[in-house]
């Protein structure tokens, strides 16, 4: 099976995760794909291929004779897709890009003016959506590439390699992909998540991240007799949001600039809730951002009464850079593998997070590599076929010994 065939099969599974769920995985449908993937690994001949009770898929490839003492290398991807855009009934199609816009439906197109990166793929085959759902290259392309590399290794016993571990995680998109990852079972010296974007990306810096849930408790009363009595929670929440720095939002930041991001709002006069994420690459600035939110809540409670604003804030992950720097040979190996395959490596900082960030703090140094996908979490998502093929070859090089 080619990497493209694998990918097209995997995106037929709806695996959206659910941030409101308290189960692992957060959606039972992830286990349907997990069972399929475990079975596929078994049929390839991967040892101890299985899905555990939490929906994590593991598999192991023993070393070639004489290389048993080489360090075990891990390769990791995630099976869930972002709940921000529907992943149900994904209908991918392959188009040859010949310039201009790419029509996805009668009303939706990938416009060259909006996505000038399209020009880099002139003449290539691109896998796109039908304009109604995301595609799922984040991260089913990563799974397809890892599995295609595994198939090559197993079908070519003359290719020499050390011990290899494979893992597919659930719930990465909602920040829980490493929650129940079995580090001891995986037992790798280092690993790579295959979960990045454009071909050639190597990422070992990511945001420090925190989540904020702010509840505003109001006092509702008939508006005809509300003077000096009503505390409209919706308006008080609006006041809080208006006090966030306008220039420090995702739409106004790039590179190493951090932000506050209002994700969703709900409520009425009696109660209103907002979910916010805080991001910054610099740990000190990250801590200052959290302190700013705490101070803002304290100030508003001083104005409107203690308990009016109730803050629930928790850290999500930290910048893995400090855990990767002592192991830069991992990055050097990734660069060399790409260069051997004619891919120009591009070291970039992630404006987000991956399973690898948390795994690095759990003792598994784990930078992130590209899948080749572009416009993740969007109906305009696409991935070049050639990029998936190239990335599969890069993974094979990383698995093999010269």
Task: State yes or no: is 101 an active-site residue.
Answer: no
Task: State yes or no: is 80 an active-site residue.
Answer: yes
Give the active site residue among 139, 172, 203, 269.
172
pLDDT for the residue numbered 203: 97
pLDDT in tens, 157-194: 999 999 999 999 999 999 899 999 999 999 999 999 99
Q: Residue 354 — very low, low, confident or very high, per pLDDT cuts 50/70/90?
A: confident
Tokens 């002592």: give the residue.
326
Stretch 266-282: mean pLDDT, rounded?
97
d(C-alpha 223, C-alpha 256), whole Å: 47
Computed over every residue of the chain, the mean pLDDT equals: 96
Which of the two residues, 153 and 222, has the higher pLDDT score? 153
Give the active site residue among 14, 18, 40, 80.
80
Q: Residue 226 — very low, low, confident or very high, per pLDDT cuts 50/70/90?
A: confident
User: Rounded to whole angstroms, what are the CA distances from 215 to 175, 187, 259, 267?
Assistant: 21, 42, 21, 9
pLDDT in tens, 284-296: 999 999 999 999 9
Question: 42 — phi, psi (to 5°)?
Answer: -60, -45
CA-wise closest residue to 36 among 123, 144, 133, 116: 144
Could you give all domains of the chain from N- to C-terminal order, each with its CATH number? Answer: 3-206+319-399 (3.40.630.10), 208-317 (3.30.70.360)
Which of the two residues, 84 and 338, has the higher pLDDT score? 338
User: Rounded to whole angstroms, what are the CA distances from 273 to 80, 119, 145, 263, 307?
Assistant: 26, 42, 40, 11, 14
Question: Are the C-beta atoms of residues 274 and 262 closer than 8 Å to each other?
Answer: yes
pLDDT for the residue numbered 353: 80
Stretch 237-245: mean pLDDT, rounded?
98
């Amino acid at each position: 099976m080619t990497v493209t065939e694998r990918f097209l099969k995997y995106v037929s599974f709806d695996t959206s995760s659910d941030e409101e769920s308290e189960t692992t995985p957060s959606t039972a449908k992830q286990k349907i794909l997990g069972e399929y993937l475990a079975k596929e690994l078994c049929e390839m001949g991967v040892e101890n291929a299985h899905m555990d009770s939490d929906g994590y898929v593991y598999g192991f490839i023993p070393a070639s004779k004489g290389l048993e003492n080489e360090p075990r290398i891990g390769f990791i991807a995630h099976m869930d897709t972002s709940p921000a855009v529907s992943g149900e009934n994904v209908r991918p199609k392959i188009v040859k890009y010949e310039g201009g816009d790419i029509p996805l439906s009668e009303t939706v197109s990938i416009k060259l003016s909006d996505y000038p990166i399209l020009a880099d793929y002139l003449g290539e085959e691109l896998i796109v959506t039908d304009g109604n759902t995301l595609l799922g290259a984040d991260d089913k392309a990563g799974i397809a590439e890892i599995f295609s590399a595994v198939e090559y290794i197993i079908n070519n016993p003359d290719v020499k390699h050390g011990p290899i571990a494979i893992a597919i995680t659930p719930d990465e998109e909602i920040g829980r992909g490493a929650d129940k990852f079995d580090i001891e079972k995986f037992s790798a010296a280092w690993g790579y998540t295959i979960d990045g974007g454009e071909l050639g990306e190597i990422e070992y810096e990511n945001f420090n991240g925190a989540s904020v849930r702010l509840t505003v408790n109001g006092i509702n009363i008939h508006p005809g007799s509300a003077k000096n009595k009503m505390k409209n929670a919706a308006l008080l929440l609006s006041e809080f949001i208006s006090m966030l720095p306008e220039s420090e939002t995702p739409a106004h930041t790039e590179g190493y600039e951090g932000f506050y991001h209002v994700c969703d709002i709900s409520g009425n006069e009696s109660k209103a809730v907002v979910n916010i994420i805080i991001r910054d690459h610099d740990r000190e600035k990250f801590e200052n951002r959290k302190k700013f939110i705490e101070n803002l809540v304290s100030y508003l409670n001083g104005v409107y009464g203690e308990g009016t604003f109730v803050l629930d804030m928790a850290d999500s992950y930290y910048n893995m850079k400090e855990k990767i720097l002592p192991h830069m040979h991992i990055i050097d190996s990734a660069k060399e593998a790409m260069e051997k395959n004619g891919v120009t490596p591009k070291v970039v900082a992630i404006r987000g997070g991956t399973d690898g960030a948390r795994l690095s703090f759990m003792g598994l140094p784990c930078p992130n590599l590209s899948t080749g996908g572009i416009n993740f979490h969007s109906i305009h998502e696409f991935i070049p076929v050639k990029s998936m093929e190239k990335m599969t070859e890069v993974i094979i090089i990383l698995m093999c010994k010269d």
